[in-house]
Structure formats: structure tokens, C-alpha cells
A and B are shown apart, each in its own frame.
Chain A
Amino acid sequence: MSPEILRLIGQATLDTLSMVAVAAGIGTLLGLPLGVFLATSKRGELFAAPALNAALGVLVNATRSTPFIILVVAIIPFTRLIAGTSIGTTAAIVPLTVASVPFIARLIEGAVREVDQGLVEAARAMGATPLQIVRKVLVPEALPAIVLGLTLAIVSLIGFSAMVGAVGGGGLGDLGIRYGYQRFMPEVMATVVAVLIVLVQFVQSFGDRLARRLNKRLRQG
């Protein structure tokens, strides 16, 4: 491979990493409170608001059931509003984030729902406010599951990011399609796939190890 191609692969890797990092970061920032709210707002729960819960549930499901490539195109006006343009790597972050928020919210909802209700009752019996219960009980107790969920979300985002080439976003997927497929350069395709595999492996094993470190439910040797 020519140095020019290697440079392109390096740049594409950086693009992928930055798109995924920003989308996962903002996705967590918005998805965490949304997920916690979804997990605590059904009838009789801490922030009981059954109607709002149901409405948000429909919205989350709608976003999640739209295929990502359709979502990318469908929200182009919104993307232009946020990023100023609908083309390029920066613009591609917008649909990635929009897809990641409901995904992360559902994962966090699941993690928080797994927390033993007895702990919530104990905290209420201590006189904790609902916000204290979230901060001091629900999130810390759900943290190992939250970390695993975010790991899954990041791995999925790496996959999604390969599709944003459709709107001129850069990254490894775009490189693989344009050089590996359209210009018949199988060695570029193979390298792109190899880099993606390494990235996903790294993210997954880092996430697994972090979750295990945080999980104090098992006796540690």
C-alpha cells in the first residue's frame, strides 16, 4: 500500500473515533437522564408520570425502529440546523447522536430496573429525596450494567458510523466503500475491516474489565 493510502486509513480511523466519541459522549449525557427517568416514572415509582413515560417510550421506540441509513437522510434539515451543513464528518455526528440517545436510554433503563427495589425502599426509609435515591443508590448500583450497556452502544456506533459516508461523512466505513469497493482495492477493504475488528475488540474488553472492576457483588480474590 502506498503511503498516501496509509495516511488515508489513519485519517479515517481518527474520523471514526471522533464521530463515535462525540456521539457516545452526548448520547450518554442525554441518554442517562432519559434512561433513569424511563426506569423511574411508571405508576407508583419515584418520579411517577405515567403519561410522560408512555409518550417518551413511543418516541424512543420510533427513533429506534427507523433504520439508521433512513434516519440519516430523514433528519437532514435538523442536521443542517445544528451543524450548519448536512455534509461531512461533523455533520455526520448529528444523526449518530440522535440514534445513540434512545439506544443508550433503553440500555440504562434496563440497568436501573435491575436494581433491587429493596434498596430504594431502604433509602426512602432513611429520608432520601428521589434525586438522592438516583444519585446515591440507583446509578451507583447499576453502574456495572451501565458500563456494559455503554460498551454495547459504542460498538454499535462504530458500526453505524460506517454508514455516514452516504452523507459525505468520513471514517473507516466510507474509506472501505470508496477505495476498497468502488476502486477495487481489496487490500484497503481488508485493512479497514482489520482496524474495525481491533477497535471493537479493544472497546469490548476495556468495557468488560471496567464493569468487572466496578461490580462488588462478587467476592473478589
Chain B
Amino acid sequence: MNAPVKPDALGIGARPFAVPDPIIRFEQVGKTYAGRSRQQAVAALSGIDLTVPAGAIVGVIGRSGAGKSTLIRLVNGLERATAGRILIEGEDVTALNEAGWRRRRREIGMIFQHFNLLSSRTVFDNVALPLEIAGTPKATIASKVEKLLALVGLADKSGRYPAELSGGQKQRVGIARALATDPKLLLCDEATSALDPETTQSILALLRQVNRELGITILLITHEIPVIKEICDRVAVIEGGRIVEEGETFAVFTNPQHPTTARFVEAVTGVEVPAHLADRIRPEARPGSEIVLRITFTGENATAPVISRLSSVVGVDVNILAGRIDAIAGKPFGSLLVSVPSRIPESEAVLGALRNLGLKAEVIGHVS
């Protein structure tokens, strides 16, 4: 049950043309925290295989305690792996010493749930900090910081202190700071979990912009499925220190294989049955009851005029019970709960028509 399910395990490696090295590759990585005795040692992660292709936005989702914080900290050496190998741009970083890690870290930006801005420094000086640490000349720092503040939309807040900013503005400063040393990779540690939904959207839009316009690869961890849905090209689901499912976001969302994944995606794909309706659905037909169908739309089909087609072509009345159409990783996806008459000719005709439209339809019960 806990075996990783990878719908496209062969996807990247099997492509016939040359693919650039992935920016991060985890190979059977494990992390065990030593306890006072062997019995007290805690395995935070085990058998992690994960690939982050250059230019992608990859999300790792899991509940608190699943190991995702540890996982993201292995990438910049804030935590050290105790098993397996981690390759960054092809270099095995598992054996790096602290000085080697410091050089590596200057090429990896990181943003945090609680922003971690220095309260004693202005916005400008916060963004300048990684450049000071890297020994960049003052004049270069000034022009660089101005550019970054303009990018994140805070050019007018340069002289303010973090205490004077809103949460969203603080995270923008965090992003500007993380980009200061021109990293190829940005790590986001629950970057939107302390923000309200509206601010979350604006920060996600900024991250997408950073990814597209600057070509920066992003690895993020979150417990919020909307974050994955909104911006991630690929997603890994982590539970109990193991990756239980991994793949392209759209594929994972529309066809989850692992129960944990299914629970996570239900909330956003609208596939769950509303509570008021679930009470009325019976497993067997009764005289005069109707069949409840769940129609799932994916990709191109999501925009098909299915209801009008059913009424006009098949000539049955379709009763809409619940539904939702949304975009996942930029592709439309949705599901619709409908009831149709359960008499044999009509119901057969409806199912046939849906198949012809290329839609997935399943009978989930009967309602009277």
C-alpha cells in the first residue's frame, strides 16, 4: 500500500532526445535522526527518489510531520542525508563539507513560511544581505537590490522596516532576497501558509512569473493542495517519510492512485459528493428513482457542451446535482454529478452518448 505509484516512471528518462540534467535528483535518500539509543532513532525520510527537472515547478505535499520540511532542507544542506545520494546539477552533494555547502547555498535561494526577515534591517538591507555575505561590491549591491525590489513590486518600500509591512509584502521581500544571488533554484518552505487566500494567489502569481521569466526552477513544500493545483507542473505526495505518489500534477489530480493523494485532491477536483446529497444516495434502484452519474471532464473535454448534447441528442432530461470546473496546472478539469431517468433505454443511451463524447462516467448510486 505504501509502495510509490508512478504513473510516468519512465516519462523523462525514456525520451529519445537529449534532456538536460535534472537540477535535483534524489536517489534512495534517507534521513534518520539519532536518538540517545538506537531504539530512539527516528527515521524522518526513507527511500526517497525524486527528480526535479530544470525549469519546472515541483511541489511536495504532505501533512505536518510527513517529512517534507526535512526533505527540502536536504537540498541546501541545512539537514544532511544519512542514506542515499543527492545530485544537484549532476554533482553529488552528499559528501560536501560545510565550506562546500556554503558555496552551493549561494546558488540556491530559499523562502520561508514566517519570512525570516531581519527586523533590524530595512527592506533594502534585507535584500542586500545575501550579496553582503557573498562579498559583492557596494555599488553592484545597490543596483541589484533596486532591480529586485522593482521586480517584486516594492520599489517604494525600500527604506521601510519589516514591521511596517503586511504579510504578503514581507514574503515579496523574502522572494527578492532569495533571488539576490541569481540562483538557478528556489526552495519554498510553506511560503504561503501564513498568508490569507488572496495574498496567497498574488504570491503564487509572482512565483510563476519568477519561474517563467527568469527560468528559475522551484521546489516547494506545502500542506495546501490549492498551491499545488495553481502552479506546480509536477507533484510528489509524501506520507510517513516516503513518497507515495509522484507525477505530472494534472495526471495525479485526475487519476490519483494512492488513498492519501485521493483525499488531498478530492477537495479541489470537486469529485467528492456533497454531504446533503450523500445522505440521499442509495446503492439500489427503487421505483421512480433516478441514476446518479459522476461525469469527469479532463483537458479538452472540459469545455464540451455535454448537457445540451444529452438533452438534444438523446432526448432525456438531465438533472444537475453538483459540479465544478476548474484548472489544474493550467489545464481545465472538472466533474459533474447528474441524475438521469433509470429506465433501460434512456440510461443506456445516456452512457453511450457520454462515451462517444470521450467523457468518463460512472454510476455512483440511485436517488429518489
Binding site for B on A (CB under 8 A): 116, 118-119, 121-129, 132, 136-137, 140-141, 143, 214, 216-220
Q: Are A217 and B110 in contact (CB under 8 A)?
A: no
Q: How far is the CA of A137 from the CA of B132 in the complex (A)?
A: 12
B184 within 8 A of A: no
Return chain A residues, CB-CB under 8 Å to B112. Answer: 118, 121-122
Q: Are B78 and A218 in contact (CB under 8 A)?
A: no
Return chain B residues, CB-CB under 8 Å to A136. Answer: 129, 132-133
Interface residues of B in 132-177 (CB under 8 A from A): 132-134, 161-164
B105 within 8 A of A: yes
Interface residues of B in 105-122 (CB under 8 A from A): 105-106, 108, 110, 112, 114, 116, 118-121
Interface residues of B in 261-304 (CB under 8 A from A): none
Selected contact of A140 from candidates B103, B114, B120, B133, CB within 8 Å: B120
Question: What is the minimal beta-carbon distance from A108 to any residue of chain B, in angstroms?
Answer: 16
Q: Are B78 and A216 in contact (CB under 8 A)?
A: no
B22 within 8 A of A: no
Q: Are B133 and A128 in contact (CB under 8 A)?
A: yes
Q: Are B133 and A123 in contact (CB under 8 A)?
A: yes
Question: What is the minimal beta-carbon distance from A139 to any residue of chain B, in angstroms?
Answer: 9
Return chain A residues, CB-CB under 8 Å to B121. Answer: 140, 216
Counting residue pairs across A and B whose Cβ atoms lie within 8 Å, the total is 67
Question: What is the minimal beta-carbon distance from B261 to any residue of chain A, in angstroms?
Answer: 29
Return chain B residues, CB-CB under 8 Å to A217. Answer: 119, 163
| Extra A-B contacts (9), CB below 8 Å, given A122-B116, A125-B108 | A119-B118, A122-B112, A124-B105, A126-B105, A127-B103, A127-B104, A127-B134, A141-B118, A216-B162
Return chain A residues, CB-CB under 8 Å to B343. Answer: none
Chain B at the A interface: mostly helix, strand, loop or mixed? mixed
Q: How far is the CA of A72 from the CA of B164 in the complex (A)?
A: 49
Selected contact of A127 from candidates B102, B119, B161, CB within 8 Å: B102
- What size tier do the contact residues of chain B reach? 20 to 34
B217 within 8 A of A: no
Q: Given that A132-B133, A217-B119 are known contacts, is A127 also in contact with B163, CB under 8 Å in the complex?
A: no
Return chain B residues, CB-CB under 8 Å to A216. Answer: 119-121, 161-163
Q: Identify 29 residue pairs between A and B in the complex whose beta-carbon atoms are under 8 Å apart, listed by A's number.
A: A116-B116, A118-B112, A119-B116, A119-B118, A122-B112, A122-B116, A123-B129, A124-B78, A125-B78, A125-B110, A125-B187, A126-B105, A126-B106, A126-B134, A126-B181, A127-B130, A127-B134, A128-B102, A128-B133, A132-B133, A136-B129, A136-B132, A136-B133, A140-B118, A140-B121, A141-B118, A141-B120, A217-B119, A219-B164
Q: How far is the CA of A154 from the CA of B161 in the complex (A)?
A: 30
Q: How far is the CA of A123 from the CA of B78 in the complex (A)?
A: 11
B249 within 8 A of A: no
